A and B are shown apart, each in its own frame.
Chain A
């Protein structure tokens, strides 16, 4: 788009037919093609439908209080999902982000208990998260262990670490007071705003920066990217660092919001939800393709679904069955529509 607004540097020689502006087949698209081109669109439509159905069916659903509840719920796994987009675009996967989410508030608590001021404790905890990302990345790229296994192992290490240090007991989270607490999780909309901020950052990183192009190139054609001189290993390590840092950050804020940290299995749930949000939103598991905005919609879809079923009074166990089927259907649609769109474009 921006390219067309630039003045053409007067090239009088070229009075040829099509001045090669994107007038080709790019412009002659049908509505169907528009729909197929935006991978996010299918999930947007489905999500809007879900929201409408629950909104009409239950007067509680679209109240401010309930929307805030949904937002607080989805903020955490949405952030994990955004980071996961980078990793999936690389053609890798990170299963440890949920455990990082679980571990980071514990680290804050442990540092704080040792007399370190809360701000510094948070900073230190985030440095530890960066360290986890660094380990994930380095073991994956330098020791050639598949990231699936590396991050699964790290996931268990962190989970066990929390169980050991907590002695399986819940503790009160520091940092509740005043404006600080409000910004870092206590405020009703605090975590979702942070999530939105992280979304914009990761979106810009992927779509608007040189680094993002290199991430796509690394995931889309590893050999070709390396051949053209892109430091593919460094790119991968950075992505593992980014997902660990953002997951850790949202974990800390959730800890402050809830007021206590328990060594439960929330983190392990959230990594799966984050992955599902990314994949349902239109991010390919095969690398090279990912959408941060789609992931956001995917997260809203999952959040609205769970909350709606709760309000309607569907048994939580039944919900899992329904959720499973919906994920399957969404994925089948994504893949089939994707290949249809590819055929149309040729």
Chain B
């Protein structure tokens, strides 16, 4: 799984980084303190679809227990990048590191094995199964080995406990997922991913179509998971207001690159908007100039 250089390193994007001599397991002293907590790092990730260049070298870092927002307009390369992170697409070039180790993800399952999981609000749960059955989906506890006789009592107990631990309040864990609200479903889906050992969670528009109370539930959950359990979370959204509420840091993807990398506490919504608009204006001007020639 950690085959370096199998993803065509000849991309010309290798040199710039501090170039840690990443021998497996070599937690060498030269790694700065700041770097040690990086759970996920991408370096010069590129991807093209035929003539269309989607990503032109994305460098990104995600720290332990951090909530990182990824913003970008449609076509900026945001969703391509996310799909590479979750193992859906292989990148054409560049390298991905999980906890310092170079990895190449071959499938979604592979990504999950590395602790990266995406949570989709509507896709994740089985409406006809109860809350606890959804929490244990495909990791059901059983007795009698291969017969697969369900240990329902134990699963209920653990599910209840776990939901309490991460402060998700679901009144009835025997309720079918179908009867839950969108926010509750999202919470259960996230809870399942973290319970099944996900270290990095990707949330795709987690607050879409949610009321204030529902949003609060999800925001609390995200903060509790990141701050108390050290789970790193990537939130994808094009609504900046949401991201300002949830995230510690924002990465703006523009034209297949991370154009802006900023800590939420160091900026404001107005400032960021100004930054983006001016950036956009300069591009527009450049484009205009090119056209005029």
What is A's interface to B at a CB cutoff of 8 Å?
A: 2-3, 5-6, 14, 18, 20, 22, 24-26, 208-211, 213-214, 216-217, 219-221, 223-225, 227-230, 288-289, 342, 345-346
| CB pair A345 B138 closer than 8 Å | no
| CB pair B126 A25 closer than 8 Å | no
| CB pair A26 B148 closer than 8 Å | no
Q: Which of B129, B138, B150, B153 contacts A208 (CB 8 A)?
A: B150
Is the C-beta of B20 less than 8 angstroms from some C-beta in chain A? no
| CB pair B137 A208 closer than 8 Å | no
Instruction: State the Cβ distance, A222 to closest chain B Cβ, in Å.
Output: 10
Is the C-beta of B142 less than 8 angstroms from some C-beta in chain A? yes
| CB pair A342 B123 closer than 8 Å | no
Q: Which residue of A lies closest to B127 (CB)?
A: A220
Instruction: State the Cβ distance, A316 to closest chain B Cβ, in Å.
Output: 39
| CB pair B125 A224 closer than 8 Å | yes
Given the complex, which residues of A lie within 8 Å of B152, measured CB to CB?
A: 2-3
Which of B156-164, B223-231, B268-276 is the contact stretch?
A: B156-164
Q: How far is the CA of A188 from the CA of B169 in the complex (A)?
A: 55
Given the complex, which residues of B lie within 8 Å of A346, measured CB to CB?
A: 179
Q: How far is the CA of A223 from the CA of B127 in the complex (A)?
A: 12
Which of B74-82, B170-178, B202-210 is the contact stretch?
A: B170-178
Q: How far is the CA of A180 from the CA of B36 in the complex (A)?
A: 73
Q: Which residue of A lies closest to B169 (CB)?
A: A20
Q: Which of B140, B154, B169 contacts A6 (CB 8 A)?
A: B154
Q: Which residue of B lies closest to A219 (CB)?
A: B128
| CB pair B148 A209 closer than 8 Å | yes
Is the C-beta of B280 less than 8 angstroms from some C-beta in chain A? no
Instruction: State the Cβ distance, A146 to closest chain B Cβ, in Å.
Output: 22
- Given known pairs A227-B123, A345-B179, the reply for A210 and B150 (CB within 8 Å) is yes
What is B's interface to A at a CB cutoff of 8 Å?
A: 108-109, 112, 123-129, 133, 137-138, 140, 142, 147-150, 152-154, 156-157, 160, 163-164, 169, 171-175, 178-179
Given the complex, which residues of A lie within 8 Å of B140, measured CB to CB?
A: 210, 213
Q: 25 A-B Cβ contacts within 8 A?
A: A3-B154, A3-B157, A3-B160, A6-B157, A18-B171, A20-B169, A22-B174, A25-B171, A26-B172, A208-B149, A209-B147, A210-B140, A210-B142, A210-B149, A216-B126, A217-B138, A224-B123, A228-B138, A229-B109, A230-B137, A230-B138, A288-B126, A342-B178, A342-B179, A345-B175
Instruction: State the Cβ distance, B49 to closest chain A Cβ, in Å.
Output: 23
| CB pair B108 A227 closer than 8 Å | yes
| CB pair A216 B128 closer than 8 Å | yes
Given the complex, which residues of A lie within 8 Å of B179, measured CB to CB?
A: 342, 345-346
Instruction: State the Cβ distance, A220 to closest chain B Cβ, in Å.
Output: 4
- Given known pairs A3-B153, A227-B124, A342-B178, the reply for A213 and B164 (CB within 8 Å) is no
Given the complex, which residues of B lie within 8 Å of A22, measured CB to CB?
A: 171-174
Q: Which residue of A lies closest to B140 (CB)?
A: A210
Instruction: State the Cβ distance, A254 to closest chain B Cβ, in Å.
Output: 30
| CB pair A213 B133 closer than 8 Å | yes
| CB pair A221 B125 closer than 8 Å | yes
Pick the 9 closest A-B CB pairs, nearest first: A24-B171, A3-B156, A210-B148, A2-B153, A288-B128, A26-B172, A220-B126, A220-B128, A3-B153
Given the complex, which residues of A lie within 8 Å of B163, measured CB to CB?
A: 20
Given the complex, which residues of A lie within 8 Å of B174, measured CB to CB?
A: 22, 26
Q: Which of B123, B126, B128, B140 has the most CB of A within 10 A?
A: B126
Q: Which residue of B lies closest to A229 (CB)?
A: B138
Q: Which residue of B lies closest to A21 (CB)?
A: B160
Q: How far is the CA of A14 from the CA of B161 in the complex (A)?
A: 11
Q: Which residue of B lies closest to A22 (CB)?
A: B172
Q: How far is the CA of A213 from the CA of B154 in the complex (A)?
A: 16
Given the complex, which residues of B lie within 8 Å of A345, measured CB to CB?
A: 175, 179
Given the complex, which residues of A lie within 8 Å of B172, measured CB to CB?
A: 22, 24-26
Q: How far is the CA of A214 from the CA of B129 in the complex (A)?
A: 10
Given the complex, which residues of B lie within 8 Å of A25, measured CB to CB?
A: 171-172
| CB pair A213 B150 closer than 8 Å | yes
| CB pair B150 A20 closer than 8 Å | no
Q: Which of A20, A209, A221 contacts B160 (CB 8 A)?
A: A20
Q: How far is the CA of A22 from the CA of B163 in the complex (A)?
A: 14
| CB pair B148 A225 closer than 8 Å | no
| CB pair B149 A209 closer than 8 Å | yes
Q: Which of B109, B124, B129 contacts A213 (CB 8 A)?
A: B129
Given the complex, which residues of B lie within 8 Å of A342, measured CB to CB?
A: 178-179
| CB pair A6 B153 closer than 8 Å | yes
Q: How far is the CA of A279 from the CA of B125 in the complex (A)?
A: 25
Q: How far is the CA of A18 from the CA of B178 in the complex (A)?
A: 23
